Structure formats: C-alpha cells, structure tokens
C-alpha cells in the first residue's frame, strides 16, 4: 500500500503548475437615459476607463489575463423588450470600446446582458430615506415581474405596482435619484491567472511527510488528498452595488481577491478621437518682402487624432479641411484674389487637463494644400488663377500651429498658418521682373478661429 501511495505522490510531483483565478479590478460605466454608447464626458466614465485599462495593460504585458466579464443592466423605465435590447447593446458597445481603445483581444471578453437591475434597485431603496420605502421594498420582494390571469394574460406586474404606489411619488423619486445609477454596464471585472509553483524541495518534503504519515493510516481511503481544493469562481460573487469598488463583495467571499493597486491608477486616454469644425479665417500674402491687405474667408473640415501613448495624452493629428484664402492689393492696381484649397494637416498635439471637463490642446505641424478653384478680380475683369493667364500653382505647403480649448466634447480654437513655398509660377500681368506685389514670390499667411465637437 505504501508503494501505491508513493507512486501516486510521485505522479503528482510531475504535474504542472496549479492554476486558479482572481478578480483584481473592476469598473462601472454610466449612461444617459436610452443611450447605449460609451460617453467619456458623462459622470466619471473617462477616469474609470483610464484606470481600468491601465490595469488591463499591465496584466496583458505579464500574460496573466484570464478574462474580462461585462455585466450590463438597464433601469425599469421603458418597456421590458426595450430594456433587454438596451442592456445587450450597452454590453456589446463596451466590449467594442475595450477591444478598439484598449487593444484587448475580443476572445478574452465575456459580456452578459442582465436586463433590469432589480437587485441593485432594492439595495439602493433599502439604503435610502425615500417616501414609501417599506412599501417599495415589499413590492420588490413579493410582486413578480409579471402577473398573469388564469388565461395566461398579463394583468399587472412589479413595475405597474411601483408606478401606482402613492400616486406615483416614490416612482418619480426613483426615476430622478436612483434609476440613473442603474443605467450602467457594471461589474466589468478583470480576472487574472494565478500560478502557484512549488519548489522541488517543498514537493519532496511534502511527499516524504505524507509517506511517513501513511504508517499510521489504516487504509488508503483515509489518506489526505494531494489535489488543491477547487477555487470558487469569483464571477458568481460579483456584487451588484452602485458603488465603484474593486469587487468588495468578491473580496469578502474569497481570499484570492484584492483591491486594485494604486500603481495602476494612472491616467488613460482614448486612442481614437474624431472631430468636426468650422470657422472664420483672415488671410493675406507676402510678396517681395511686403504684406498685402487681409481678406476674410471661411474653413470647415474634420479632424482625426490618434493616440501615440497609453500613459500620456500625445496625439498624431490629421484630417481634411476646405479653406478659402486670398488677399487684396490696393494702390497701383486694385485687385482681389480668392483661392479655395483642400488642405491636409499633419502634426502633433498634447492635451493639458485643467479640470475634470476642461483642457488646453496645443498643436503644431505641417500642411499641404491643393487649389481647387481660384480667381483674381482686376476691376471688372476676372482671371482664373490656375490657368495660363493666372500663372499660379495649385500647390501650397507650410507650417501651422494652434491652440484649442476643449470643454466636454466641444472646443474652440485659434490657428496660424505660414506658407513656406511660393504659390506663383510666373507674373503673367506685368512680367517676372516687375516686382509688383501679389504676382511674384507670393506666400500665404492665415489666421483661423474655429469651433467644433469631438466624438
């Protein structure tokens, strides 16, 4: 019998590492009523995602991520079917956000739509001092979601009783003070693999100790088991409370969980940002070292910002703009020139947070512009700039720098553009040696004031 026990223990000696899992971090994302998409500007969503994605990033670098579990909920307002669809949509959109912005493999993410958060509602009502609290708790505890008659027709239910209670006053209170906390994708939990390794010496000592103990054991069936006890899945004890915690209930239920590390609480910024903008521009040119009169114009376009760092708000900045530039020359010949460009900016920007929702965004870079239409008006005569008579090139390139002030998703900004190449080819009006302003050695200058929105 001792030989049998010895070989069993020797086999256990060569078994690989023992694996279990623990919940290391969690977050809660809130939604506006009826919305399914992740809104970074709503409540503390941005800070929650930044902190959580930092935890995931560190775990991915150490190859320890077991899985991420998303459980999404909705509040009771709205139809049952609409709430189920909304909860499913929120879970799916949050998963897409984690995949796209956090570079998390989709295969590691589980998402579950839990529908209406009745348990969370009960917890919050119980913790409140609201009017009719006891009656509301009684309805939540004893009234089913749907009440049917003998023919199977719906004749009432939990939500209807809540709405009818005391003329609807408790329900209106819950809509204002409690339901907003239920509209969330809560308990997004990061689970890590735990690898417990025993040293050779520990295993030998353990085996020898067990063999010695077999001398006093009457039968093999009473020998201690060499297998580790199964770890209770933490997922089953995930709390459904509105507080933002690192699985506090899971911690109480299992020794394998812990609070999120403070080292993982650094800032985290979205990787992709899109924006639309429009504004006013004031432009002029320099020619032969002199400056023309300014001319008013406009600009509109979109911006794309790509995050270059997961820890710092440094972005590659580009987009496509339509801008109307031009200039006026007054004196010897009064001319007015208009040039419309499609402009491609390329640069870098950096976000300087001034508060929870306010930030400065300085930027700098280069631009390339292609002239799509241009004309010069001399008296009553109009000349096409890019034709044989105009003598101008369609191509422009230069330097630009600017500063945006962002509040939530909205921003206003100012930008200076400085042309670096001559946009003329030859002076078709007076000849290349005339030294007339606006016909030769022409370079663009421009100030832009704009407003827009990021999404």
Name all domains of the chain by residue range, CATH numbers in brackets: 1-116+179-259 (3.30.1330.60), 129-177 (no CATH), 272-454 (2.40.160.20)
Let me know: does 166 contact 131? Beta carbons within 8 Å: yes
**Residues 240, 246, 252: CA angle, nearest 5 degrees:** 75
pLDDT of residue 36: 82
pLDDT of residue 216: 34
Side-chain half-sphere CA neighbours of 339 within 13 A: 32
Rounded to whole angstroms, the Cα distance separating 340 from 325 reads: 6
Rounded to whole angstroms, the Cα distance separating 334 from 330 reads: 5
pLDDT of residue 449: 98
Task: Give the predicted TM-score (pTM) of the model.
Answer: 0.48
Give DSSP secondary structure letters for 12-61.
HHTS--EEEEEEEEEEEEE--TT--S--TTSTTHHHHHHHHHHHHHHHHH
3 state SS of 160: helix
Side-chain half-sphere CA neighbours of 152 within 13 A: 0
3 state SS of 319: strand
| Range 72-100 burial, b when 16+ CB lie within 10 A, else e | bbbbbbbeeeebbbbbbbbbbbbbebbee
pLDDT of residue 180: 78
Rounded to whole angstroms, the Cα distance separating 404 from 452 reads: 10
pLDDT of residue 37: 84
Supply 306's token pair.
């790509």
Supply 91's token pair.
């879970």
pLDDT < 70 stretches in the chain = 1-21, 183-188, 193-269, 310, 331-333, 427-435, 437-438
pLDDT of residue 277: 98
pLDDT of residue 323: 98
pLDDT of residue 184: 59
| Range 293-305 burial, b when 16+ CB lie within 10 A, else e | ebbebebebebeb
pLDDT of residue 155: 84
């Amino acid at each position: 019998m001792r030989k049998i026990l010895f070989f069993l223990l020797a086999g256990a000696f060569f078994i690989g590492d023992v694996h279990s899992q623990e919940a290391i971090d969690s977050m809660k994302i809130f939604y506006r009523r009826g919305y399914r998409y992740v809104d970074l500007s709503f409540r503390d969503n941005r800070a929650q995602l930044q902190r959580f994605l930092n935890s995931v990033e560190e775990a991915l670098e150490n190859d320890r991520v077991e899985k991420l579990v998303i459980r999404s909920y909705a509040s009771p307002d709205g139809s049952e079917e609409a709430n189920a669809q909304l909860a499913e949509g929120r879970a799916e959109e949050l998963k897409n956000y984690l995949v796209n912005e956090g570079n998390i493999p989709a295969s590691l993410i589980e998402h579950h739509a839990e529908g209406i958060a009745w348990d969370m509602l009960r917890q919050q009502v119980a913790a409140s001092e609201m009017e009719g609290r006891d009656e509301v708790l009684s309805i939540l505890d004893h009234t089913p979601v749907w009440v049917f008659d003998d023919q199977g027709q719906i004749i009432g239910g939990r939500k209807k009783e809540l709405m009818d209670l005391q003329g609807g006053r408790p329900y209106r209170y819950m809509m204002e003070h409690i339901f907003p906390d239920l509209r969330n994708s809560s308990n997004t939990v990061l689970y890590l693999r735990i690898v417990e390794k025993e040293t050779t010496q520990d295993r030998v000592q353990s085996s020898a100790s067990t063999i010695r103990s077999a001398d006093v054991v009457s039968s093999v069936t009473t020998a201690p088991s060499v297998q580790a006890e199964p770890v209770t899945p933490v997922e089953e004890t995930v709390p459904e409370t509105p507080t933002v915690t690192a699985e506090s209930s899971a911690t109480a239920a299992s020794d394998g969980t812990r609070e999120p590390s403070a080292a993982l609480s650094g800032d985290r910024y979205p990787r992709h940002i899109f924006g639309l903008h429009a504004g006013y521009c004031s432009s002029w040119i320099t020619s032969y070292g002199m400056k023309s009169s300014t001319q008013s114009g406009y600009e509109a376009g979109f911006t794309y910002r790509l995050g270059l760092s997961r820890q710092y708000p440094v972005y590659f900045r580009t987009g496509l703009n339509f801008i109307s530039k031009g200039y006026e020359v007054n004196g010897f010949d009064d001319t007015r020139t208009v040039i419309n460009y499609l402009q491609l900016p390329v640069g870098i920007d950096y976000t300087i947070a001034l508060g929870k929702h306010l930030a400065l965004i300085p930027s700098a870079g280069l631009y390339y512009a292609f002239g799509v239409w241009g004309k010069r008006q001399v008296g009553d005569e109009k000349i096409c700039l890019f034709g044989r008579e105009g003598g101008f090139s369609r191509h422009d390139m230069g330097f630009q720098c600017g500063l945006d002030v962002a509040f939530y998703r909205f921003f206003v900004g100012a930008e200076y553009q400085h042309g670096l190449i001559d946009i003329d080819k030859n002076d078709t009006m007076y000849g290349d040696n005339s030294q007339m302003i606006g016909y030769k050695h022409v370079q663009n200058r421009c100030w832009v004031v704009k407003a827009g929105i990021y999404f």
